[in-house]
Amino acid sequence: MGGYADRSDGVQNVLDPLEVHAVTFADDGHRFALVVADLICVNVDVVERIRAAMRDIDVQSCWVAATHTHASPEAGCIPGGEATPRHVADRLEAASLAAARSALASERAARLGCVRTLVPKLAGRRNVTDSGPLDIPVHAITVTAGTDVVGLVVISPVHPTILPADNNHVSADLNGGIRRALSAPGRWAVVATGAAGDISTRHTRQGRGLDEVDRLGAWLADRVEPVPHIGGGTPAPVRPPISRTITLAPKQPEELDAALRQAPPPAGKNERIHWVLQQGRRIAEEQAARRRTEPYVIDVEAVDLDGVTVVAVPGELFLELGETIRSAAPDQVGDIVVLGYANGYLGYLPARDTQPCYETYVSPVTSGSGEIVVEAAVEAATEAVGDRENSRRISA
């Protein structure tokens, strides 16, 4: 099983089934699909396989995102990603195509809206001992047909890790609990994970089982109001996502040495945080021993969907950097939804001034890489919205 570095057992049973969801957005000229899978990560190799297969069923562009559940089979989730195990890749491709075909069969005229809700007492900064609950910004993209909300795409910037490291039953974990709580007759729900690199339920959860999964899932769902979007005017055409390719320098041994020379932050009485810090330092030393010199090359993408701008980042972006993308974008971009763990897996992307912690130790890239990702995301989002504005002028 993937997710926890101190896990040794494989999958033993099923707590709740892992799912793959697909949502399609189309007009007469282009069709875009968002695939969300209950997996620890998706690597570039399997993303490219799925994109190629999607073109055969009239889906011209496609994103594939993982929920990052830690109760799924290992999928090559190491910094920078590795080859996806064949049995995982085959099943993911088949499930993605099946979900997409189902979506194609049920396409209908609809409009999109976006609701941003600050959810209290859900999560906090996971490796900070004195962290209290934060108000977590959750986005819900509403799909409205007529006057009814018929679907929701919810992006939660929280590690879906309620189940513990010694759990060996597969589960969608928190995202599954949210999905169950939001689904209703005549309304589907897809739940993805956002800029959750440093956010989890470590300081807010009251248990480590399925009951707690459903309690926190319902807590979030009760605070997300699926408001119908009765849009005026003509929606912009569906266009291919805008992509920015960036190169990020690998963390150099001297940078790691400097971090390891610093005393680790005190873990207080939290033995788990202390253990995680030591784990991070060990993993960092192993990475340094490999002495990678070639840069990491990743794509940061943005797409405009009926006035909702969605950005996809192939890694674990810190929440504050996700918020920076929103605040740094020009006014015409409007509200931006940041999707993490999408179209590849690089690893942790902390902010430049983050104090030494598990995420900074394990991050494979040099300090400041998170800010480079933010800049690329803002550029891609701005261009995506520029396409929207150009199409409006042409149609006028």
Per-residue pLDDT of 347-391, as tens digits, reads: 999 999 888 888 988 999 999 999 999 999 999 999 999 866 565
Distance CA 15, CA 39 (A): 14
Question: Mean pLDDT over residues 239-245, rounded?
Answer: 97
Distance CA 301, CA 388 (A): 15
Per-residue pLDDT, 254: 82
Distance CA 313, CA 304 (A): 15
Closest of 125, 128, 138, 132 to residue 175, by C-alpha: 138
Per-residue pLDDT, 394: 34
pLDDT band at residue 265 using 50, 70 and 90 as cut-offs: low
Residue 324 has pLDDT above 90, yes or no: yes
Per-chain mean pLDDT for the chain: 91
> How many Cβ atoms are within 10 Å of 137's Cβ, its own excluded?
20
Distance CA 117, CA 133 (A): 15
Q: Which carries the bigger pLDDT value, residue 187 or residue 236?
A: 187
Per-residue pLDDT, 137: 98
Question: Mean pLDDT over residues 8-35, rounded?
Answer: 93
Question: Mean pLDDT over residues 180-201, rounded?
Answer: 96
pLDDT band at residue 264 using 50, 70 and 90 as cut-offs: low
Per-residue pLDDT, 346: 96
Per-residue pLDDT, 181: 98
Residue 232 has pLDDT above 80, yes or no: no
pTM of the model as a whole: 0.94
Per-residue pLDDT, 4: 84
Question: Mean pLDDT over residues 276-303, rounded?
Answer: 87
Distance CA 21, CA 179 (A): 11
Residue 237 has pLDDT above 60, yes or no: yes
* HEC letters along the chain: CCCCCCCCCCCCEECCCCCEEEEEEECCCCEEEEEEECCCCCCHHHHHHHHHHHHCCCCCEEEEEECCCCCCCCCCCCCCCCCCCHHHHHHHHHHHHHHHHHHHHCCCCCEEEEEEEEEEEEEEECCCCCCCCEEEEEEEEEEEECCEEEEEEEEECCCCCCCCCCCCEECCHHHHHHHHHHCECCEEEEEEECCCCCEECCCCCCCCCHHHHHHHHHHHHCCCCCCCCCCCCCCCCCCCCEEEEEEECECCHHHHHHHHHCCCCCCCCCHHHHHHHHHHHHHHHHHHHHCCCCCEEEEEEEEEECCEEEEECCCEECHHHHHHHHHHCCHHHCCEEEECCECCCCCEECCCCCCCCHHHHHCCECCCHHHHHHHHHHHHHHHHHHHHHHHHHHHC
Residue 309 has pLDDT above 90, yes or no: yes
Closest of 312, 321, 330, 311 to residue 386, by C-alpha: 330
Distance CA 226, CA 389 (A): 27
> How many Cβ atoms are within 10 Å of 253's Cβ, its own excluded?
13
Domain residue spans in the chain? 242-395
Per-residue pLDDT, 393: 37
Percent of the chain predicted with pLDDT > 90:
72
Percent of the chain predicted with pLDDT > 70:
94
Model confidence pLDDT, tens digit, residues 210-219: 999 999 999 9
Per-residue pLDDT, 266: 61
Cα separation values, 41 from 79, 236, 242, 342, Å = 11, 32, 22, 8
What's phi and psi for 44, nearest 5 deg?
-60, -35
